[in-house]
Every structure is written in C-alpha cells, then in structure tokens.
Amino acid sequence: MKDSILFQSTQLGPYTLKNRIVLPPLTRSRSSQPGNIANDLMAAYYRQRASAGFMVTEGTQIEPRGQGYAWTPGIHSAEQVEGWRKVTDAVHEEGGVIFAQLWHVGRVSHNSLQPGGEAPIAPSAIAADNVSVFIETAPGAGALAPPSVPRALTTSEVKEIVQMYAQAARNALDAGFDGVEIHCANGYLVNQFISAHTNHREDEYGGSLENRLRLLREITQAVAEVVGKERLGVRFAPLFASTDEDRVYLGLVEENPHETYVEAIKILEEVGIAYLSLAEADWNNAPELPETFRSAVRSTFSGKILYAGKYTAERGVRVIEAGWGDLVAFGRPFIANPDLPTRIANDWPLNPVDPSTMYGGTGKGYIDYPTYE
C-alpha cells in the first residue's frame, strides 16, 4: 500500500507530516513510582514508533486529582516535566512529531488514587456505573475496582480546573512537546460536563447544551492561548448507541448525539484548533458513526480530522478518500508493531497483541515486539 493516500504527506498546523498514520493515545501504565514520572522505558517505546506521521501520548493527568488508574503519568510536577523531556527528545531524534494528551478523569477514579484519600471530583455527585478503575494493591501489583462516589465541584473550582489545563499546557511546552490534545472523550471530566446523564448542575455549567459545553469552550480557549491554536487538538468519542444502557454506561452521548457533537465541534471551529480526533467505539459489533454525522463534521470543521477505532489500513483509506477525514490512528496494531507504517506500506503481516501485558509491568509486551525481518 506504499502508493496509497496513507503515505501522502499532509500539513498539521506548522508541521509537515511524513504520512497520515497516527499513534493514538494508549494507556500503558509504565510510569516510575513514586510520582507518576515518564521514564527511559517510555522514551524507548515512543522512539520505536516515531515512524508514525504523528504521535499523541497516553493520557497524562493535569493534576493529582486527575488520576483514575495506577501508574499513569502526570504532567503537573517538575519531575514529570523532566521525565517527559526524555520522551520528546527521543522522538525528535527520530524526526517524529509528538503531542501530549491532557487528561482529567473526573469521577472515574477511586479514593485510594486521590490526594488524602478524598472523593473524586465531578460536575455532579453521581457515581460512575458499569466501569472499573485500576488501583495499586501492593507495590507493582494492582486490581480493578469500582469508582468511588464523587463530590460535585463548586463553580469557582470549575474555573480553577480551566487554569489547571492551561498550566498543564505550559508544562507540555516546557517538556518539549510539539503541541497538546485535550481529552474530552470516554466519559472523563470534560465529557462528564457535556453529558446530561452526568451533569445535573444548576449553575452556568449545567442545564442547557450551551451551558454543558461551556467548560469545553473555556478549556479550549485557555489552552489555545498557551500553545497556539495551530498546535492544539481535541478528542471526542461520539457514540450512536442502540440502547439507553450503552449511553448511560459510557456517559458519552446525549439523546441526540448528532446535535451535541456538531454543536461542540462548532466551538472548536470558532477557536480554530488544528485537528479533531474522533475515537469510534471499538468493541465487537459496535455501531459505526453514521455517514450523515461524518458529513456534518466535515462541513462544520475546517481543520484536520483524525479517526480511530478498530481501523484497518483499507478502511482508513476509504475514510480519507471519501473526504471524511485526513488522518487515521491505529491503536492495538501500533502497540504490537513498532514498525507499523513500514508493514502497512509493504503489506507485511502484523504481530498480534499480547493482552496480558497491556497495562503495567516491565518492558515485556512494551518495547520487545519485533520489527519485521
């Protein structure tokens, strides 16, 4: 497929990407403890995959309360910034482009992961159902647990969160990142404000769709002022679910996901960000995004559009050639195949993923996947 559109260069803000294949955010839980610090192992992992046209880090929490899983890295301390510098230096030495994903899990956390063992924070004091977090049970050992009941943020605390995102963006620049992506998907904090299922507030951040999108607008504007709109992306995960149970479980959509996300994307277009990342559901028999929605996104947003979620190279080519998107991300294939672009270009077979080494651990199942011989 070396002659396919996947291997045509494209412009992303100030960066000329060598191909349209993206390493998307992939939680791997390998940060050094204590302190949730990016390390040499992580630098090796990202260096191996720098042949991607564009890379986005695993979610990195913007403050201590933003953590929902053991051993995930942060970007709020000086030690964390220094750790991430190892990663960005490694990627840049290979000619890669890498953005940091700024993450706050909100209610999807556990008291044991929170400072002082306090309750997680959320738009409203509603516990997350049918989802698990990962907590440390002993040094180097962990287990799944249900999220703790959160407490609702005050209005002034919400405004403080906006400034925490801006500071995390400054930290990302200090760490050498080429830009940042704001994680607004998968039922985490910004998504919790957007969703009527999880946002029962009665202040300026709740009620109408305009109010529920206010935090998104304020964070995006604040971060754009720090990094520049041309170095900024936002990730959504719109789900056109078939049942109410799916919608409540993920907290991802409204009764009208088309309207919710088109209105959200209008905000991103007003700010003028570089790209929009759409993470599609990736479980078996998951609903695909309707063509009417893809077309509405394309007509609403003038920046680059990135799709992710169980994509094959062939499906990625179809999405780009149809005009719906510009970039395609490959998650699990990139975990198991550090040389993924070369394999796709030459139609070489792919290594399978070892699911037992996805989260936590050592270099096994992390930096020891072979390149094609």
Name the residue with tokens 């910034």.
81
Write the CB contacts of 341 (distance below 8 Å, at least 6 apart in sequence). 7, 19, 21, 51, 52, 53
| Alpha-carbon 4 to chain mean position | 27
How many alpha carbons lie under 13 Å from residue 372 in its C-beta half-sphere? 15
Alpha helices, DSSP H, located in the chain: 40-48, 78-93, 155-174, 189-194, 209-212, 214-227, 244-250, 257-271, 291-300, 313-321, 332-336, 340-346
**Structure tokens given for 146:** 């249900």
| Alpha-carbon 331 to chain mean position | 11
Nearest 5 degrees, angle CA 160-CA 155-CA 221? 50
Are 358 and 335 in contact by the 8 Å Cβ rule? The answer is yes
Q: Is 15 a catalytic residue?
A: no
Using alpha carbons, select from 298, 364, 301, 365 the residue that is nearest to residue 335: 365
Count of C-beta atoms within a 10 Å radius of residue 63: 19
How many whole angstroms separate alpha carbon 359 and alpha carbon 336? 13
- Backbone dihedral angles phi then psi of residue 156, each to the nearest 5 degrees: -65, -35
Of 45, 165, 188, 369, which one is the catalytic site residue?
188
How many whole angstroms separate alpha carbon 226 and alpha carbon 173? 9
**Structure tokens given for 51:** 């042949």
Count of C-beta atoms within a 10 Å radius of residue 350: 17
Nearest 5 degrees, angle CA 102-CA 229-CA 223? 40
| Residues designated as active site | 188
